[in-house]
Amino acid sequence: MPCFGNVWLNRFVLIIRHWLVASFDPNPTAMSASPAPPFAQRTHAANRYDAIVIGSGISGGWAAKELTQKGLRVLLLERGRPIEHINDYKTALTPSWEMPHRGRKTVAEADAYRLTSRNYGVDEYNKGFYVSEIDSPYVQTQNEDFVWARGHQVGGRSLTWGRQCYRWSDLDFGDNLRDGHGVDWPIRYKDIEPWYTYVEKFVGISGSKEGLPHLPDSPEFLPPMAMNCVEKHAAMQIAKTYADRRLIIGRVANLTAPKLGRGPCQFRNACDRGCPFGGYFSSNAATLPVAAATGRLTLRPYSIVTRLLYDDAKKRATGVEVLDAETGAMHAYQARLIFVNASTISTTMILQQSTSPRFPNGLGNDSDQLGRNLVTHSKISVGGRYDGFLDQYTYGRRANGIYVPRFRNVTQQHADFRRGYNYQGGGSRPRIDVNTPVDGQAFGAAWKDSLPYPADHWSLGLTAFGEMLPDPNNRVRPSATVRDKWGLAVPEIDFNWSANDYAMMADAVREGRTMLEQIGCQQITSDPPRAIRSTVHEMGTARMGRDPKTSVLNAHNQVHACTNVFVTDGASMASASCVNPSLTYMALTARAVDHAVREMKRGVL
């Protein structure tokens, strides 16, 4: 492999260069820059760059885009393989009958994705976008409740994420201060609101305006996707029954109209195979092409960052040490700015292993909070059957669901638990399954005749997503005994659900069942109240805060004691909210880059 993975990326740029940069209104505070040099010439003496970005997922892609558009020469390091938009989505258009196993995992693959499959439908189509738990294990000391799904490739989990995009509100940013759990966020909604608008304009989020203070609307919404008949009925019944609840269509980063050269969603619901139309937001389809088209991006795949390099005399980070995942060779790269966006746990591991005389317990870990306060969203489901609307069916395969915003602990405190939950779900009309007997027979003319027709009912499901409270005992640290295939320490995770989580999810089951009854559902089923599952929304292990004694990062996502290092992925979050976090990562990243470049121009960084 060439030292810098520019050959494949050059092809990537040629595919999309014709539509990208000119169609996007750049940040008005961007630095002026001279014309970009030819793409293939972007190497620099002594491996020096203006900025290094670690990780090419959602937040890393945004950091690369913003930094290059502001005139900086950027090295983007990705530990996994290159993925070229369109060309490397090998199964995106492949029908099931052309797949060797008809889309299913083999027995051996089931072991490789045993934990990941609890939250993601890993299958023959998308398995290449997920990390093998055999090659890259992790250790859980308390239980196996925590699911850590990873995507080691260019684009990271932006190729497989659920794409649900919601703004946080002051309810979310203020809860820590109100109830005393965790540390106070150093920002409020007004600080991030313009950055939400900024990223939404580029990402493209479809949704409806609802006027809810605790779920702010966007002025940039694309037209919302349509609910089907049973979902519309459910929304009407909930509005009639509850003054504090509303069922809406999900806000999702799937385009309902073309945007910035990306085609609209085709309603295939095959997003996790990679979208050749660019119909959903990913680093590969959106941010990285823009960054590459500036001529200032160098992308190096197969690059595992083992630690940040710190100069005790200068009191700043000077660069990174990289293990080449293919050759085993070690390299060092220098930069004025470093953005660590490797995803929550990987970011934490990099910082923890970046020791020096100044930081014997990990870079920036003066507070002993690095690795602590690991949070995710708790999850539990209810569902029911709805008899009716048998003259109607669905159109296409909508890559989105319905959403019931948080209604607990919004205006008054619930007696049993702190914080709140939302519901995500959807209604569908099942088809007759090929393995389902008809009149007791799984064969014969009657069974064959039934296959083209939908079932005689609809199904409606709701899954609650609850907010965990920060707890310093839920933590991540390098394992002292377990190594991965490269001989590197794997994460060791201490994780337990709390009494608050169990009380919240018990309430979510009760309220979910009651709402389905009010809608008119029958045969209602639910998970046992204590059968909580985790999501893949891990956060909190290098949290922002006002006080360096109790946090790792300041209000601009800078490491308190090493201000040329920024963390803007999930590790930076001071709490979890119950709202999907990816939109907030993007907004924090754009905001942090703007601050970093301003400080560079002032000569501070």
CATH number for the domain including 12?
3.50.50.60
- How many folded domains does the chain comprise? 2
pLDDT at 434: 54
- Helix, strand and coil percent figures for the chain, each rounded to 5: 25, 20, 50
Q: For residues 21 and 139, state if they share a domain.
A: yes
pLDDT at 87: 95
pLDDT at 108: 85
Comparing CA positions, the residue from 384, 460, 463 lying closest to residue 421 is 463
Three-state secondary structure call for residue 586? helix
- Cβ proximity of 119 and 534 under 8 Å: yes
Q: For residues 276 and 422, state if they share a domain.
A: no
Q: For residues 362 and 425, state if they share a domain.
A: no
Q: For residues 314 and 394, state if they share a domain.
A: no
Q: For residues 513 and 597, state if they share a domain.
A: no
| H or E segment and range at residue 240 | helix 229-241
Burial of 543 (0-12, 13-18, 19+ CB in 10 A): buried
pTM over 0.75: yes
In Å, what is the CA distance from 211 to each residue of 220, 402, 404? 14, 17, 14
Alpha-carbon distance of 230 to 423, in angstroms, equals: 16
Q: For residues 357 and 390, state if they share a domain.
A: no
Q: For residues 120 and 169, state if they share a domain.
A: yes
- The verdict on residue 577 lying in a domain is yes
Q: For residues 455 and 425, state if they share a domain.
A: yes
Residues forming beta bridges with residue 459, ordered by sequence position: 385, 428
Q: What percent of the chain has pLDDT over 70?
A: 90
In Å, what is the CA distance from 487 to each residue of 55, 325, 395, 480, 484? 20, 11, 50, 12, 5
Three-state secondary structure call for residue 381? strand
- Cβ proximity of 168 and 577 under 8 Å: yes
Instruction: Quote the domain boundaries for residue 36.
Output: 1-205+272-371+538-605
Q: For residues 157 and 88, state if they share a domain.
A: yes
Residues forming beta bridges with residue 335, ordered by sequence position: 49
Supply the Cα-derived Rg of the chain in whole angstroms.
24
pLDDT digits (tens, 9 = 90+) for 243-261: 999 999 999 999 999 998 8
- Cβ proximity of 403 and 383 under 8 Å: no
CB neighbours of residue 248 within 10 Å: 19
Q: For residues 595 and 454, state if they share a domain.
A: no
- The verdict on residue 259 lying in a domain is no
The last residue of one of the domains, among 511, 531, 551, is 531
pLDDT at 430: 87
- Cβ proximity of 474 and 375 under 8 Å: yes
Alpha-carbon distance of 39 to 298, in angstroms, equals: 9
Q: Mean of the per-residue pLDDT values for the chain?
A: 91
The last residue of one of the domains, among 478, 510, 531, is 531
Q: Which two tokens stand for residue 109?
A: 């693959």
Those residues of the chain that have pLDDT short of 50 are 1-44
Q: Which two tokens stand for residue 232?
A: 């519309």
